[in-house]
Structure 1
Amino acid sequence: MRVPETMRAVRITAHGGPEVLELTEVAVPAPHAGEALVQIRAVALNNTDLWTRDGAYGRPEDPEARSGWRGPLDFPRIQGADVAGRVVAVGAGVDDGLVGRRVVVDPAIYDSDGPDANPVGLMGSERDGGYAEYVSAPAERVHDVTESPLTDDQLAALPTAYGTALGMIERGRLREGETVLVSGASGGVGLALIQIARARGARVLAISSGSKIDAVREAGAHEVVDRRRDVVEQIRAAAPQGVDVGLDVVAGDLVGEGLPLLREGGRWVVAGALGGYGVSFDVRRLYLHNAQVIGSAMHTPTHFALLMDLARQAAVRPVIAATFPLDQAARAQEELARRNHVGKIVLRPRAGRPTGGGLEDAV
């Protein structure tokens, strides 16, 4: 197909609130050697979009510094890590057979070429992302999912949320028959954790509240703990023998409260700080019980390849809370920040996208 010279994109030119998101016309990126150009059908939102926009990640030497995911951002930056679409062109050295294929892009920038490489950067932060009509990406990070029965919206919901969830589960060494506790259960990562842990044969306890509890149960949680009541008391009642693995995107006080709930040799995996990044706990509960606190930032290439196998088989089915057109990216981020939804919020950049937006347009 003929690729246009320009495209619409939403980018930020400084840290700040939703007002720093600007819809503009920019050049379509030309795929360099080893790259593919993807026409974007759907791009999912993540909490990292909000934190990157706000500059809320801090730096090792200054936790309060305004910073992107792994350091200062190069502005202007097109946000958006989670892309599903079709390949429309390739650069030198890339098989032409990829053109026309339906794909999902692995958004991670890795520290090496190995299968267990660590993510040290992210599309939409350290390089331009998917709040646009086209994006270029290394061809080795573009995964063919043409045969998947999942919708474009569902495919776009996978990379960060389900990649993060799978990375947490793999690093936490979750085994069949174990009891797992999931915090932030109604969010994108939380629902992914529930679905994947349940599929692995674990008993799933989830923390949620209010009207979201039923949706969390429908996602596969065996028991739901209401965070508006005494969380520790409810967990002890639901799992009197203790929890094998904590899968935590909240952190804050929950880490100190949760460690004593682990069984001998238990693992507490942290991949977020929605409840605050300042954490304290009784270290005796750590070493006397051979427990582990594990940090988990997204996924490895091996994890992502496994996730794409699940996508091709539709073994996981992301919940889509709402869809918005590209020009309503700020409104979509505001909806994300309110945390009133269950599942993923998705932008649709292509022509012919809906003119409405919001939870009434949920898919």
Structure 2
Amino acid sequence: MIPSTMAAVLLTGHGGIEKLDYRTDVPVPQPKPGEVLIRVAAAGINNTDINTRIGWYSKAVEADTNAGGATGFDSVNDDDASWSGKPLEFPRIQGADACGYIAAVGEGVDAARIGERVLVRNMLRTYVGYRPYECWTFGSECDGGFAQFAVAPAGETHAVNCDWSDAELASIPCAYSTAENMLHRAGLGTETVLISGASGGVGSAAVQLAKRRGAAVIALSSAAKADEVLALGADRVVDRNADLRAELGEGSIDVVIDLVAGEQWPAFMDVLRRGGRYATAGAIAGPISEIDVRTLYLKDLTLMGCTFQEDEVFANLISYIEAGEIRPLVAKTYPLSGIAAAQEDFLSKKHTGKLVLMIPEVAA
């Protein structure tokens, strides 16, 4: 039986962790035509959850995520502080990751799907008519997985058959699709790739997915996490604060997969070979970087920003899971009511892999 109310975390506005309101009286959503209702079992914590909460996507913010991760920023312009560049609607249930079980279906959806264990594609195209380079983010432009129930388009809710735990599956949607999308867009093959932020959720996913493609992986991480990153499959770990030009040599890298940006960014251009490719989907060390345009054109470099995902990216991830070709590292789990502690731990960057909220079942 589906209850009328549920536990959920409501984001009440842009700001600090105090803007996250854990409630147990939130109405359970109803699936519209073409949608499914999911009983959420687990939901991963991602950098985008924090970025959205603090309004980091606003062009008024020039600092790194951690500068306002716990307390927010004073300079946020609410008008452009979301993925889409449009004002966020509050209250909002965040959570880009959702692993759960289909509990009900809307009109036009086969009732035989009830009971499936599923993952929701986090970059949703249904709501924008599948227009190129447009998407909604699950948990940003619509409510997401930080709740006992969530609705999602049936066509973008994928059944998964594997022996993984719910926490492991909840580690996949945002981090792994972001990583796979960068590798897909860069066309990474059996080449040498440099991956920044390699101990985080997206970075650790990129290490595994790059190795799956046969690449030689050089990972940037803190020395304290080097052994863990090597265990994920990296061939070499370089300290994240190293002089990359001296450590790697100019023109030594085919592809850079970057999640960090910040002051180190010019070095990425120098270590790329002529004709090299750079792909980014994050800027946790700061969004403002310098570029010497001469390096860009004289070396025939290709720079790619990667948010929009072609349909095959998420479908491919499901196939990798079911074939046993990847497996996420879950660092720690928390109850849904412990979201504040989870985000504080996320901001501390002391973990390797994913932090996951476990969602309690509704009492019968």
- TM-score normalised to the size of structure 1? 0.91
The amino acid of 2:307's aligned partner reads A
The amino acid of 1:150's aligned partner reads W
* Contact 2:276-2:302 within 8 A present in 1 as well: yes
Aligned to 2:31: 31
* Contact 1:117-1:301 within 8 A present in 2 as well: no
1:300-350: CA deviation from partner (whole Å, max 9, x where unpaired): 222111111112222110000110001111111111111111000000112
Offset of residue 118 of structure 1: 3.0
CA distance in 1, matches of 2:100, 2:142: 18
Matches within 5 A, 1:47-86: 47-59=47-59, 65-66=77-78, 67-70=81-84, 71-86=86-101
* Contact 2:148-2:362 within 8 A present in 1 as well: no
Aligned to 1:6: 5
SS in 2 for 1:193: helix
Deviates more, 1:198-207 or 1:119-128: 119-128
SS in 2 for 1:264: strand
Matches within 5 A, 1:185-200: 185-200=198-213
CA distance in 2, matches of 1:30, 1:12: 20
CA distance in 1, matches of 2:134, 2:194: 25
Offset of residue 298 of structure 1: 5.4
1:218-264: CA deviation from partner (whole Å, max 9, x where unpaired): 0011010012433332222xxx7610000000012232111111112
- Aligned counterpart for 1:182 among listed residues 195, 198, 204: 195
CA distance in 1, matches of 2:362, 2:228: 31
1:171-230: CA deviation from partner (whole Å, max 9, x where unpaired): 111112x10000000001001110010111100000001321110000011010012433
* Contact 2:177-2:314 within 8 A present in 1 as well: yes
CA distance in 2, matches of 1:235, 1:102: 44
CA distance in 1, matches of 2:17, 2:124: 26
Is the counterpart of residue 209 in structure 1 residue 246 in structure 2? no
Matches within 5 A, 1:157-306: 157-176=171-190, 178-236=191-249, 242-297=252-307, 299-306=309-316
Offset of residue 64 of structure 1: 5.3
Offset of residue 117 of structure 1: 4.0
* Contact 2:61-2:76 within 8 A present in 1 as well: no
* Contact 1:119-1:300 within 8 A present in 2 as well: no
Aligned to 2:323: 313
SS in 2 for 1:82: coil
Aligned to 2:45: 45
Compared CA separation, residues 312 and 166, structure 1 to 2 (3 A): same
SS in 1 for 2:13: coil
Offset of residue 165 of structure 1: 0.4
CA distance in 2, matches of 1:75, 1:161: 25
Identity of aligned residues (%): 42
Aligned to 1:149: 163
- C-alpha RMSD of the superposition: 2.0
1:123-142: CA deviation from partner (whole Å, max 9, x where unpaired): 11110111100000010110
SS in 1 for 2:135: strand
SS in 2 for 1:153: helix
The amino acid of 1:262's aligned partner reads L
CA distance in 2, matches of 1:103, 1:191: 22
Aligned to 1:358: none
CA distance in 2, matches of 1:298, 1:151: 28
Aligned to 1:99: 114
Compared CA separation, residues 118 and 152, structure 1 to 2 (3 A): farther
* Contact 1:81-1:122 within 8 A present in 2 as well: yes
Aligned to 1:360: none
Deviates more, 1:197-206 or 1:64-73: 64-73
Aligned to 1:356: none
CA distance in 2, matches of 1:117, 1:78: 26
* Contact 2:41-2:361 within 8 A present in 1 as well: no
Deviates more, 1:227-236 or 1:30-39: 227-236
* Contact 2:10-2:20 within 8 A present in 1 as well: yes
Deviates more, 1:66-75 or 1:213-222: 66-75
Aligned to 1:20: 19
* Contact 2:251-2:270 within 8 A present in 1 as well: no
* Contact 1:108-1:119 within 8 A present in 2 as well: no
Unaligned runs of 5+ in 1: 354-363
CA distance in 1, matches of 2:313, 2:239: 31
Aligned to 2:104: 89
Aligned to 2:66: none
